[in-house]
Structure 1
Amino acid sequence: MNPILPLKHFVPDGEARQMPDGRLYRYGSYDISGETAYCSDRLHVFSTGDMMEWKDHGVVLCIEDIPWAAKGSMLYAPDCVYKDGKYYLYFCMNNAQEGVAVSDTPCGPFQDPVPVMYANGDSIDPAVLVDDDGQVYYFWGQFHLRGARMKKDMRTLDMETCRSCVLDEKNHGFHEGACIRKCRGKYYLLYTDTSRGRATCLSYAVSDRPLGPYRKGGMYGTDTCSRLG
């Protein structure tokens, strides 16, 4: 097995995005080599043009850049999207807050971090979709996945469109780590699944509309996350 990143870098909660420049960018939490704690107070971005050689763009956001972050907060599970010439990096912290920072490039640095307004309730693991018509959708949560349209400011949720249970543990085995994609007119949510008693497999659900309803399609990874990651 060939690691896609140098062995000194550890990037859990990975989110891969092909950006307008054609390169593939990997966003994710960042574990510091030699530390015993998971994740950290900073985020790195990596990119590749050939899936073989990867470039570390360094620290693109750190907790010190976020004046409203609670003391001792870490940064987790980011997602990044391109909209109208800007790149928006969404992230969560361990004080149940979610935020967004902006950059002119997909590799940052990301600046002016602000809270995502109304992203309440199990506020972890943001997942973002820019639909074909330009409408942005935002998903977040653990055990119950929430979703809503994003307003044009890219930081405020339209709560009139909010669904509090896009996916749940009972009907979909949903645990956390949602990822949203659109393919051939269908919307796919990928996530960690607890159907086998622990969140050690990956599943997907599909819908004709971004906010659902979603039907579970099945598992596409049934080994432990340490091997799938």
Structure 2
Amino acid sequence: MKKLATTITSAFLAGTIVGCAHHSENNDTAVQGNPLNFGEGLRTADPSAHVWNDGKMYVYTSHDEECQEDFWMKDWYAFSSTDLQNWETHGPLLSVDDLSWADNYAWAPDAAYKNGKYYLVFPAGTGHKDRVNPENSTKWMGIGIAESDSPTGPFKDMIDAPLWTSPYANDPSLFIDDDGQAYLYVHAKDHDYHVVKMADDMRSTKGDLVKMDMGGYEPKMEGPWVFKRGDNYYFTMPENNRVLSYYMSKSPTGPWEYKGEIMGQEHNSNNHHSIVEYQGQWILFYHRWLDIDSACGPQRHSAAEYLYFNDDGTIQPITRTDKGVSDFSVKVKPN
């Protein structure tokens, strides 16, 4: 498996927000922090951010190939930084070529640390989605989990199989609570707003997917992300696959109370995100569709914004910016 580790400087020419048409313009008066400088020509999406014991920020992403067909994707990457401006590239961490049970659809990953190991949980699949005649579709996706002694891999699929074959599932979010119990949340056919406990060895699940109480509001969704702050648990998601919204609870399995929007949609484009605290500052990672040096029009690129909480634990709405977190080193610098 090819391995790349390259330090990338922060100089990067970026365009502003676009939708589904060829268009770009530069904001010469603002410091360009978005999209994140993960490497020239490298298209990334679905950023899953974690801070490990070495004190670095790690962002695990899917990898959009140039002009790919219908999200046919083949591998996963990671990026690490101490200042959120200069990033080191690690990858591919894992490829569908390394899997015996899937050959495509290397979509949104997540990661976790437990038992002295790093875990990469990922969706992958087979077949073809027929958008004209859906009854002819053969596409299937499942959730895999791979292990490594390093946060940057290489990762190995130790069970040589998906965690389950039914229901069809993708967009895994792996949350480990303070007591060490790992919970897996997914976007799955007829099983959204479900959770399943992971076994202690992280190589299987305990029991079946369990439907959570969402307080009576269950819009179409994908890409769940769960985190804890203080005594509050947060279930966040792209509502209707576009608007980042969230619920709160006192338990990782609910019942949940819907709290509203974090970030609005952008030109009817999908979004996928993660939320993590780094050096005392909370950060939202997400992706944007930008027309940057592409023959195919807008492509997905990872971005980041600061995130703030109200005194009652609710999240303040966020606006997309070109600046992003480019001033992070100054912002968190001790007085």
AA matched with 1:74: Y
User: What does residue 82 of structure 1 align with?
Assistant: 113
Q: Aligned in 2, Cα 1:174/1:187: closer, same or farther, shift over 3 Å?
A: farther
Shift of 1:106: 0.7
Task: Note if contact 1:146-1:166 (Cα within 8 Å) is conserved in structure 2.
Answer: no
* Equivalence map 1:3-152=2 (5 Å): 3-4=35-36, 5-38=38-71, 40-69=73-102, 72-94=103-125, 95-114=140-159, 115-118=161-164, 120-142=166-188, 144-152=192-200
Structure 1: give runs of 5+ residues left out of the alignment.
none
AA matched with 2:261: M
RMSD (Å), alpha carbons: 2.2
Q: Aligned in 2, Cα 1:132/1:165: closer, same or farther, shift over 3 Å?
A: closer
For normalisation by structure 1, the TM-score amounts to 0.87
User: What does residue 176 of structure 1 align with?
Assistant: 222
Task: Note if contact 1:119-1:157 (Cα within 8 Å) is conserved in structure 2.
Answer: no
Shift of 1:200: 1.9
Task: Note if contact 1:117-1:156 (Cα within 8 Å) is conserved in structure 2.
Answer: yes
Shift of 1:146: 1.4
Shift of 1:13: 1.3
Shift of 1:167: 4.9
Query: Take 1:118 and 1:39, find their aligned partners in 2: how far apart are those partners?
Result: 22
Q: Aligned in 2, Cα 1:171/1:183: closer, same or farther, shift over 3 Å?
A: same
Query: Take 1:204 and 1:128, find their aligned partners in 2: how far apart are those partners?
Result: 17
Query: Take 2:171 and 2:165, find their aligned partners in 1: how far apart are those partners?
Result: 11
Q: Aligned in 2, Cα 1:158/1:166: closer, same or farther, shift over 3 Å?
A: farther
Q: How many residues align?
A: 221
Q: Indicate the SS of the match to 1:12.
A: strand
Query: Take 1:78 and 1:178, find their aligned partners in 2: how far apart are those partners?
Result: 11
For each residue in 1:7-48, what CA deviation from the matched residue of structure 2 results, as whole angstroms up to 9, or x when unmatched?
412111111111111111111211123545435111111111
Say whether residues 1:157 and 2:199 are aligned partners.
no
AA matched with 1:107: T
Q: Which has the larger radius of gyration?
A: 2
- Bigger share in strand: 1
Query: Take 1:141 and 1:106, find their aligned partners in 2: how far apart are those partners?
Result: 25
Shift of 1:6: 2.5
Query: Take 2:206 and 2:152, find their aligned partners in 1: how far apart are those partners?
Result: 28
For each residue in 1:167-190, what CA deviation from the matched residue of structure 2 results, as whole angstroms up to 9, or x when unmatched?
59x714241000110110111111
Shift of 1:53: 0.2
Query: Take 1:186 and 1:81, find their aligned partners in 2: how far apart are those partners?
Result: 20
AA matched with 2:81: T
More relative contact order, 1 or 2 (CA 8 Å, 6+ apart): 2
Q: Indicate the SS of the match to 1:117.
A: coil
Say whether residues 1:212 and 2:239 are aligned partners.
no
Q: Aligned in 2, Cα 1:203/1:163: closer, same or farther, shift over 3 Å?
A: same
Q: Aligned in 2, Cα 1:39/1:54: closer, same or farther, shift over 3 Å?
A: farther
Segments ≥4 residues shifted beyond 4 Å: 165-168
Task: Note if contact 1:30-1:39 (Cα within 8 Å) is conserved in structure 2.
Answer: no
Query: Take 2:250 and 2:72, find their aligned partners in 1: how far apart are those partners?
Result: 35
Structure 2: give runs of 5+ residues left out of the alignment.
1-31, 126-139, 272-287, 290-301, 304-335
| Larger deviation, residues 85-94 vs 110-119 | 110-119
For normalisation by structure 2, the TM-score amounts to 0.61
Shift of 1:165: 4.2
